[in-house]
Structure 1
């Protein structure tokens, strides 16, 4: 996928004193509290007329943080903060670089501010695709080689970038040309609700923090409610995940985002004991030995049918889950140009993903619910 940044501490000292039997207090300034609760990669501190957004973990093991000042109309920025990049909010034009940014814009109702994106075909959102069809969103190439000429011509008020490390010459070049680049590390979050909470990052940019908080609170509430439902499960089905790509079988590591969801849905993921947040790369024989008798199989999304799987690798038929036609995929929901909706929306909506998995593992717990992302392959 075009699949992807600490807090300032202000100490408040209050000195009460008594004079002529009357208590008098010095004027005080409230210490702003961090508005972020689950995400580990950023914070928001709201002040009178401006907010301080600090992105502390834009990529794994980042050795520095990135601070941005979001200035409201008539807001006054203290001299101590003028060293940081300042953005006037609400922003009116934006470039984002990951499909995971798209749902936040849409949920906040500001998708019409999007003016450019790398590889438009990846976008699944119907609202944004309508903007693309109307020629209101420009093609920007790809993340590794953004079309800087087009972006400079667009002059977006802000560019939301992401990086796998501290080496991104294209973003550096855009900043040298006077454009404002903010890093977004949603992809680097390790928990489902941590990923989803990045909607507050976009809420701050658009002066819609209250709406972003409301949207996230609903996601959080629904997610936690489903967690409680899942605890009623009396079985823990064994789960095989992933499939072959070229000569290796890729499946999620035991402390990854996807594995957490499988565990919280009361499933027994066969590689849950491994550590890491990325993918395991194993041989077919290794996976077959451990996963041959798994109760169900959640594929990577490469395939739309069991026949497609067999046509690619006839040995898939050796797995019990395949033989019992108990194989699930999220590949069915796509945008009209082929973008897989799961990659775009799932990190933003863990409440839906969790409910889907609970329904697959324990259908008796969610009577009447139909999975949104996942479907059983035929």
Structure 2
């Protein structure tokens, strides 16, 4: 039943997954006739990466590393103790399975956790932002190094702990991106660009990208298949709703409003949760920047408002920020929901960490917000209603 698989989702989220069988043994004698990767992933939802399998190596390509990128990244993952193929730059070669990794983004941590690979993690960018329980435990035990964020990355420290892989991300700004100087230092770097995906399941499928570096394809396929099944089941429940409330998503920052485009992953979440996004006629996959006057005509009539200011905890906070919000229907009827239910003591928001890797749970929260009658027993995990 529905409640059983939601219960399973919550249990799998809040408990540490068991360690999987590790394919860590290197070949002693190379046999060119052997397929060293008998278990393969099939990419079905993500648009940003591909993998091409060969007998003893995999060619992994990141096609769209950041917005308006004019470059791609390619990695050649070679089974350890087998020949390195010719025709590739040395910086592209990574020996697999990787035995130690530094993660420069909290969104990578749930992927390692779901694959049973937190034991390989030796460094993270910022302790204060971490929410993943198994990683928090390693921090408290003094078993992780903190290496700094973005342009403040301590390359010397990363070199000192000698990871076999550094996972990071890019935005196309050499002043803030960490990967150029990490690559220049001779470190093996992989760009993970899940944030560029325009669907929740597309973002979550980067679990398979991570798995490729550790030969954990079997585990990735199993975990993602279960997650996808739960997501689709919850979406099917939402499709039974008799009406689709209009939904506004966005917030003001220093006079500019940032709202999701009509083809963004947030818009997809709203549609799958049985909502009618008020900017669904827009074809942007990222965010749109607008003035208050531009958003007012549409937003004031929206029945539900999600993803507003992270600082708001109550409806009174909303009204005290700007009296004009009293004209918003969602404010009048207290239909505001923020993804700030799981924040640590130093401000790290698990919605941007665990939520990316658990789209089925996020979707259940949104269905609860839009159609509480369809999810009477579900308890909010990432979202919560703003109280009066």
TM bucket, shorter chain: 0.7 to 0.9
Give the aligned partner of residue 254 of structure 1. 262
2:375 is the counterpart of 1:374: no
- Higher mean C-alpha deviation, range 342-351 or range 135-144: 135-144
Counterpart in 2 of 1:181? 189
Equivalent position SS for 1:352: helix
Distance apart, 1:289 and its partner CA: 2.4
Pairing of 1:272-283 with structure 2 (within 5 A): 272-283=280-291
* Equivalent residues in 2 for 1:138-153, closer than 5 Å: 138-153=145-160
Q: Which residue of 2 aligns with 1:336?
A: 345
Q: Give the distance between the partners of 2:319 and 2:62, measured in 1 at CA.
A: 45
Distance 1:299 1:181, change over 3 A: closer
Q: Deviations over 1:159-201 (max 9, x none)?
A: 1121112736742332232211111111111221111110011
3-state SS of 1:79 partner: coil
Deviates more, 1:339-348 or 1:128-137: 128-137
Distance 1:273 1:302 in 2: 29
Residue 205 (structure 1) shift? 1.3
User: In the superposition, relative to structure 1, how do residues 165 and 127 fare at CA in structure 2: closer, same or farther (>3 Å)?
Assistant: same
Flag the structure with larger Rg.
1
1:291 corresponds to 2:311 = no
4+ residue runs of structure 1 moved beyond 6 angstroms? 31-34
1:76 aligns with 2:89: no
Assess if the C-alpha contact under 8 Å between 2:337 and 2:383 holds in 1: yes
**Structure 1 Cα separation of the partners of residues 320 and 43 of structure 2:** 47
Q: Which residue is equivalent to 1:22? A: none
Is residue 2:100 matched to residue 1:93?
Answer: yes
Counterpart of 2:7 in structure 1 is: none
The match for 1:12 is none
CA shift, 1:151, in A, is 1.2
Matched residue, 2:230: 222
Measure the CA separation in 2 of the matches of 1:44 and 1:325: 47
- The structure-2 alpha-carbon separation of the partners of 1:132 and 1:202, relative to structure 1 and needing over 3 Å to count, comes to same
Contact 1:328 1:375 in 2 (8 A): yes
Length, aligned pairs only: 352
CA distance in 2: counterparts of 1:127 and 1:89, whole angstroms: 23
1:112 aligns with 2:122: no
More off after superposition, 94-103 vs 126-135: 126-135
In the alignment, the residues of structure 2 paired with residue 192 and residue 84 of structure 1 have an alpha-carbon distance, to the nearest angstrom, of 31
Moved more, 158-167 or 263-272: 158-167
| CA–CA separation in structure 2 for the residues paired with 1:46 and 1:217 | 21
Which residue, 131, 144, 152 being the options, matches 1:137?
144
For 2:230, what is the secondary structure of its paired residue?
A: helix
Distance 2:173 2:134 in 1: 33
Of 334-343 and 242-251, the range deviating more from structure 2: 242-251
Change (3 A) 1:62 1:283: closer
The Cα of 1:100 is off from its aligned counterpart by: 1.1
The answer as to 2:362 corresponding to 1:353 is: yes
Would the alpha carbon gap of residues 171 and 250 (structure 1) be closer, same or farther in structure 2, given more than 3 Å must change?
Answer: closer
Q: 1:303·1:331 contact (CA, 8 Å) conserved in 2?
A: no
Name the stretch that deviates more: 162-171 or 100-109: 162-171
| Contact 1:124-1:336 within 8 A present in 2 as well | no
* CA displacement, residues 137-166 of structure 1 (integer Å, 9 cap, x when unaligned): 222222123111211112111111211127
State the match for 1:102 in structure 2: 109
Distance 1:350 1:273 in 2: 23
Deviations 1:276-309 (A, max 9, x none): 1222222223333222222111133332222322
Match of 1:310 among 302, 310, 319: 319
Pick from 197, 200, 205 the counterpart of residue 192 of structure 1.
Answer: 200
The answer to whether the 8 Å contact 1:148/1:170 transfers is no
Alpha-carbon distance between aligned partners in 2 of 1:28 and 1:99, rounded to the nearest angstrom: 37
**Helix, strand or coil at the partner of 2:369:** helix
Instruction: Name the SS for the 1:217 alignment partner.
Output: helix
Deviation at 1:202, TM superposition (A): 1.3
SS at match of 2:58: strand
Alpha-carbon RMSD = 2.5
Unaligned runs of 5+ in 2: 1-32
Q: Which range is displaced more, 344-353 or 304-313?
A: 304-313
